[in-house]
């Protein structure tokens, strides 16, 4: 005959072990397994390692982007750098010396940032940043492709996002268009979602993204799109050759290192044939 204590324990167990409880328990158990041996076996990596630039952005050779010349180098305020999340940036006001002074594409702005490593890399985008600076969308933003002949074959169709804003001030309703693309883990993408997909690849050791943003303050939206072809064609090859890291080489080196570290463990676990 069961004691009152035993019967109370059984009632407690029957009331606690419900289907939702079992589902939650199994999910936690699966997560624990994936976070441990299985994750290691499947080469799953959650936090990404920092991949440094080959050369700092601020050291970009201005002669390499001729006929554009630098009119002004902007230094961001510390609070802006903190909000940006990285101190690797380049902010230049440019002048295209190959076109007449009256050409609306004569003056351009170039803003490049680089961020790498960690768990939560968050790309900052004009889509959001301009709203806090007194602008509102003048028309829907769109993703387009721009052909950049100076890029390698197979990569010449550059994905670019185009945003056109209008100042909310009643006195000045001037429009301004901004174009940008991301170079993330060795690929060009035009959206924040595209960056997140690449960064969250669980098999990669490293993660980085770099945003290249252009604008032409005196040009229309259509003129900005046309002008960006030339400026992207000057800037992107330099970034690829001199500044951005070789992501695929870094990943291959990480895989070789992981395989070399696992080799002694495999040898030790093999039975002694003698």
Percent of the chain with pLDDT over 90: 57
Confidence class of residue 39 from pLDDT cuts 50, 70 and 90?
very low
89-93, 106-110, 262-266, range with the lowest pLDDT = 262-266
Q: What Å distances lie between residue 231 and 5, 32, 160, 207, 253, CA to CA?
A: 80, 49, 13, 26, 33
Asked if pLDDT for residue 135 goes beyond 90, the answer is no
User: Tens digit of pLDDT for each residue in 13-25?
Assistant: 555 556 554 555 5
Decide which of 7 and 274 is more confident. 7
Confidence class of residue 73 from pLDDT cuts 50, 70 and 90?
very high
Confidence class of residue 263 from pLDDT cuts 50, 70 and 90?
low
DSSP one-letter code for 132:
G
Residue 42: which region, alpha, beta or left (left: phi > 0; alpha: psi -120 to 50)? alpha
> pTM (2 decimals)?
0.77
Q: Please, how many CA atoms are within 13 Å of residue 178, restricted to the half-sphere of its CB?
A: 24
Whether the link from the prior residue into 233 is cis, omega within 30° of 0, is: no
According to the model, what pLDDT value does residue 35 have?
Answer: 45
In terms of Cα–Cα distance, which of 141, 148, 164 is closest to 217? Answer: 164
According to the model, what pLDDT value does residue 37 have?
Answer: 47
What does DSSP say about strands 135-137 and 157-167: parallel, antiparallel, or unpaired? antiparallel
Distance CA 257, CA 250 (A): 11
Decide which of 31 and 249 is more confident. 249
Distance CA 236, CA 216 (A): 17
Q: What is the 3-state secondary structure (H, E, C) of 26-54?
A: HHHHHHHHHCCHHHHHCCCCCCEECCCCC
Average pLDDT over residues 219-247: 96
Query: What kind and span of H or E run contains 265?
Result: helix 247-269
Mark out the alpha helices in the chain (DSSP H runs).
4-16, 19-34, 37-41, 78-84, 126-129, 192-199, 221-238, 247-269
According to the model, what pLDDT value does residue 129 have?
Answer: 75
DSSP one-letter code for 242:
I
To the nearest whole number, what is the mean pLDDT of the chain?
Answer: 82
According to the model, what pLDDT value does residue 26 have?
Answer: 55
User: Tens digit of pLDDT for each residue in 162-201?
Assistant: 999 888 776 666 788 999 999 999 999 999 899 999 999 9
According to the model, what pLDDT value does residue 110 have?
Answer: 98
User: Tens digit of pLDDT for each residue in 238-256?
Assistant: 999 999 999 999 999 999 8
């Amino acid at each position: 005959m069961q004691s009152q204590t035993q019967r109370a324990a059984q009632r407690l167990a029957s009331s606690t072990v419900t289907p939702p409880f079992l589902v939650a328990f199994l999910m936690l158990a699966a997560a624990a397994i994936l976070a441990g041996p299985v994750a290691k076996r499947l080469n799953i990596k959650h936090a990404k390692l920092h991949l440094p630039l080959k050369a700092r952005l601020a050291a970009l050779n201005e002669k390499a982007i001729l006929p554009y010349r630098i009119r002004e180098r902007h230094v961001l305020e510390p609070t802006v750098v903190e909000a940006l999340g990285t101190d690797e940036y380049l902010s230049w006001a440019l002048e295209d010396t190959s076109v007449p002074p009256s050409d609306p594409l004569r003056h351009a702005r170039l803003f490049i940032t680089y961020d790498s490593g960690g768990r939560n890399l968050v790309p900052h985008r004009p889509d959001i940043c301009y709203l806090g600076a007194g602008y509102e969308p003048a028309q829907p933003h769109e993703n387009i492709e721009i052909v950049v002949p100076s890029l390698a074959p197979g990569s010449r169709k550059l994905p670019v996002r185009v945003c056109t804003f209008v100042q909310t001030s009643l006195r000045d309703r001037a429009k301004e268009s901004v174009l940008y693309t991301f170079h993330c883990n060795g690929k060009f993408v035009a959206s924040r979602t595209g960056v997140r997909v690449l960064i969250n690849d669980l098999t990669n050791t490293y993660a980085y993204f770099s945003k290249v943003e252009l604008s032409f303050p005196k040009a229309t939206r259509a003129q900005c799109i046309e002008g960006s072809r030339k400026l992207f064609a000057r800037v992107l090859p330099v970034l690829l050759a001199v500044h951005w890291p070789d992501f695929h080489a870094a990943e291959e080196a990480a895989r070789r290192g992981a395989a070399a570290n696992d080799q002694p463990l495999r040898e030790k676990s093999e039975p002694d044939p003698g």
